[in-house]
Chains A and B, each alone.
Chain A
Amino acid sequence: MKTTIQESEKQLVAVLEGELDTAAAPEFEAAMQPLYDCQGREIIIDCTGLEYIASSGLRILLNILKKARAAGSRVVLRGVNEIIRDVFELTGFINLFEFE
């Protein structure tokens, strides 16, 4: 699992690559820490390289979303593949996040 954060004035872009299983979750949560301090900037999570996500990963994304919403930021998931989209659908997360 590899997580890269690119910050700019208007945007925060997180690029996720690899498999986000429960074991990788603590490390991922730490890597995503800058997103918690979004200060109204738009958050884009690029999932193009994401191959797998478990409920622990979903929980972290939900936390980010809750914080961002409180700070008035949008959260956009980009490039989610079909299989992972099914996971979002099953959990109802598909209605919470914006997808592009």
Chain B
Amino acid sequence: MSQQQGFLRRFRDKTGSSLGWIIAAVLVLEGLAVVERLYTRKMMGEELDRRAQIMLRRGELVLDFSLDMAELTMAEHKWDMESHLSSRDSAFSVVRRLLENNRQVVGACLSFVPGYYEGKGELFEPYGHRVGNEIHLQDLAETDHDYTDNPEYQSAVRTGAKSWGEPYQYGEDNQADLVTYSCPIRDKDGRIAAVCGLDLDVSWLGDTLNHHPFYASSYVLVLTRNGKPVAGPTHRPRMQKDEERIVALINDSTAVRQRKGPYTVLPFKERGHDRDGIVYLLSLSGDPYWQIATVNYTDEVYAPARKMRRYNLLVALVSLLMLLLILYRYVRNARRLSDAEVREARIGSELHVARNIQNEMLPKAFPAFPDRTDVDVYGTLEPAREVGGDLFDFFIRDEKLYFCIGDVSGKGVPSAMVMTVTHSLFRTFATRMSDPAHILNALNEALCRDNEATMFVTFFVGVLDLPTGRFRYCNAGHDHPVLIRDNKVTLLDAKANLPIGVFPDTRFEAQECPLPAGTTLFLYTDGLTEAKNEQRELFSRQRVLSSCAGEKDCRALVEKVSRAVRDFMGQAPQADDLTMLSIRYAPDSKEVLLSESLTLSNDVAEVGALGDFVKSLAARLSLAPKPAHDLRLAVEEIVVNVMNYAYPEGAEGKVQVDARADREVLRILVSDEGVPFDPTAAARADTSLSVEDRPIGGLGILLARGMVDSINYERTEGRNVLTLKKKLI
């Protein structure tokens, strides 16, 4: 549950910023769409302009052509008509010829001024019109048609100019739209004899001009200069009302209009239809000054833009979905990655902690024993990885230097853990045991007990008795230490033995040799001998030995060998931990102030003599009462202890007391030939117990420890040797 919540929270965290990105992307997309739409609309508007102009120009051409043809026919036949004015009867044949010449002319008439032919009646109007392919001729005056009321006639007679009349409906059901072109005909004297009228059929104009409109419901209208409709899409009855509205709009002088070159543009909104539109208007430049209008509806004009918008929306939606998908994948991957990072960081910090723990356990303060002149130790450990499998350690307890060096099989965290365990076990055992073989046996048993990973450790334990120089050691499969003495470099004779951690029943036995003053011991792990150079050659023991030569100082020795191996390796990577430990043993030979001995039998009654002996020593060394008392008490307690325990009950034996002093230290050695017995190994008495719980024993050794600077036990040459050290300065 909490994991799920964690995931959600992380998802929110991750998506929080990403959502911002998505919104930004959507805004950008929308912005682009808006710009595109505006641009498209602009282009559509321009396209409309162009199309409207084409429509109007086409209409203009058609109109001009038709009207010009009528005018041309009139011009051609004017001479014919004028030359036949003399004969009244020839007027009919003139009319016939007019009709035959131009098929668009559906009717023609000659309206003679009243009384032109004297004696032949007032009015005379010969008229011809087409009925199918036939031409019918008649005198309209005979049908009582008074043409003198006709405004076109009157105008032609009055002004003597040619003109186009107003269009009118004609025929059954008014199905034909006609327009009359009137021209005065003059006789030889220049008087107006008659007015010739040509009836032009313009019914076809609407169809022709509205053939193939650019937009589905746009159409073309033709109006007279007075705004009377001449032609339009009459075959569309539904359009009739629209047409009327548009005609009214064009004739409305208050309507918003805009000049665009020779065109006039009128935007409109059809009430109740919610259809916006634009009217383009063009006036003919000559008589009859008709107007051509094209009507376009905005929704159709911008229909492609809307279509495009829909496509754009679809594309945007798809893009958005893809973006979301990408985001989802990104977040998922980021989560996986961050999980991996967290894990790595945790391991990293744990490794760091492990390394710190490891480093904490290694002796780091050098010089190791600044207040000692008889021994110096220096060691380094350079791990190959973050944590290493090597260890070294040393400390002085009861005037003995305990030291060890070890190498756990393998590398990395597991070996480092084994190493840490081994290290702490060594500390534990070496503070209780003084025999290196015992320490190794205990370590081996402990490591074998729960060693499921079967990691073994090569280990070397050394115990150097500092007062005597007695060196005891035990090796468990580790590299042989190097001995450096008097410019001679040799290997310490150490049995190889098995490493610890292999078999629980392995029994280690200690070896020993005296370590003469001025000897330096050099210990290392196989990281040194097996260091490889770029040619993959090993550094080898031989090079270890040769680089050790001529160096006595601990630190200088380690640094010299370290330099040698670094130079050898060059750029080659360090494959294993590099661990070195060197120990220099150089007890000073000082001026002896005092050297006395006393031999006692193992009888506490002899203690009186011992008291006198110690008192005389204190007197010779001019000790103050307090240190004199302390020395006497310590020696007495140790000697009594030996008397009581070194020899079997009832057996007689000797206890020897040797005192040696220089200016700095008084050493009293209590030795016997009894059974091996180390009183310093006994547990410390608990001084905090109550009267009832307080045991009677354990007081002597407690007192002795408190009264001198150190007590050291050593079994050497079949003797127990206890060394009490009391500083004199």
- The answer to whether A62 and B636 touch across the interface, beta carbons within 8 angstroms, is no
Answer whether A83 and B625 are a contact pair too, CB < 8 Å, given A19-B611, A90-B703, A92-B687: yes
- The answer to whether A54 and B637 touch across the interface, beta carbons within 8 angstroms, is yes
Q: A43-100: which have CB < 8 Å to B? A: 52, 54-56, 58-59, 62-63, 65-66, 69, 82-83, 86-87, 90-92, 95-96
CB proximity of A74 to chain B, nearest CB, Å: 12
- The answer to whether B691 and A96 touch across the interface, beta carbons within 8 angstroms, is yes
- The answer to whether A55 and B637 touch across the interface, beta carbons within 8 angstroms, is yes
Instruction: State the CA gap A95–B687 with chains docked (Å).
Output: 9
Answer whether A90 and B706 are a contact pair too, CB < 8 Å, given A54-B636, A66-B691, A96-B694: yes
Q: B632-649: which have CB < 8 Å to A? A: 632-633, 636-637, 640
- The answer to whether A91 and B703 touch across the interface, beta carbons within 8 angstroms, is yes
Instruction: State the CA gap A58–B696 with chains docked (Å).
Output: 9
- The answer to whether A92 and B696 touch across the interface, beta carbons within 8 angstroms, is no
Size category, B interface: 20 to 34
Q: Does A31 reach chain B (CB closer than 8 Å)?
A: no
Q: What does DSSP make chain A's interface, helix, strand, loop or mixed?
A: helix
Binary per-residue interface labels of chain A (5-22) against chain B in the complex, 1 for a CB within 8 Å, 0 otherwise: 000000000000001011
Q: Does B688 reach chain A (CB closer than 8 Å)?
A: yes
Q: Does B371 reach chain A (CB closer than 8 Å)?
A: no
CB proximity of B631 to chain A, nearest CB, Å: 12
Answer whether A62 and B626 are a contact pair too, CB < 8 Å, given A91-B687, A91-B702: no
Which B residue sits closest to A75, measured CB to CB? B691
Residues of A with C-beta under 8 A to B702:
55, 90-91
Which of A21, A23, A54, A69 has a CB less than 8 Å from the CB of B692? A69
CB proximity of B693 to chain A, nearest CB, Å: 10
Size category, A interface: 20 to 34
CB proximity of A93 to chain B, nearest CB, Å: 8
CB proximity of B633 to chain A, nearest CB, Å: 6
Stretch from B61-69, B188-196, B599-607 at the A interface:
B599-607
CB proximity of A57 to chain B, nearest CB, Å: 10
Which A residue sits closest to B703, measured CB to CB? A55
- The answer to whether B694 and A21 touch across the interface, beta carbons within 8 angstroms, is no
Q: Does B363 reach chain A (CB closer than 8 Å)?
A: no
- The answer to whether B691 and A55 touch across the interface, beta carbons within 8 angstroms, is no
- The answer to whether B633 and A56 touch across the interface, beta carbons within 8 angstroms, is no
- The answer to whether B633 and A62 touch across the interface, beta carbons within 8 angstroms, is no
Instruction: State the CA gap A62–B699 with chains docked (Å).
Output: 11
Answer whether A22 and B636 are a contact pair too, CB < 8 Å, given A65-B691, A96-B691: yes
- The answer to whether B626 and A55 touch across the interface, beta carbons within 8 angstroms, is no
- The answer to whether B633 and A87 touch across the interface, beta carbons within 8 angstroms, is yes
- The answer to whether B629 and A23 touch across the interface, beta carbons within 8 angstroms, is no
- The answer to whether B607 and A62 touch across the interface, beta carbons within 8 angstroms, is no
Residues of B with C-beta under 8 A to A90:
687, 702-703, 706-707
- The answer to whether B604 and A59 touch across the interface, beta carbons within 8 angstroms, is no
Which A residue sits closest to B705, measured CB to CB? A90
Answer whether A21 and B688 are a contact pair too, CB < 8 Å, given A52-B632, A62-B694, A91-B703: no
Answer whether A21 and B608 are a contact pair too, CB < 8 Å, given A91-B699, A92-B688: yes
Which of A23, A63, A83, A91 has a CB less than 8 Å from the CB of B607? A23
CB proximity of A35 to chain B, nearest CB, Å: 15
Residues of B with C-beta under 8 A to A56:
604, 640
- The answer to whether B606 and A63 touch across the interface, beta carbons within 8 angstroms, is no
**Contacts A23-B604, A55-B640 given; 7 further ones with Cβ under 8 A?**
A21-B636, A22-B636, A25-B604, A54-B703, A83-B626, A91-B685, A91-B703
Residues of chain B touching chain A, judged by Cβ–Cβ distance below 8 Å, are: 604-608, 611, 625-626, 629, 632-633, 636-637, 640, 685-692, 694, 696, 699-700, 702-703, 706-707
A-B complex: 4 closest residue pairs judged by Cβ atoms: A92-B687, A55-B699, A23-B607, A90-B706
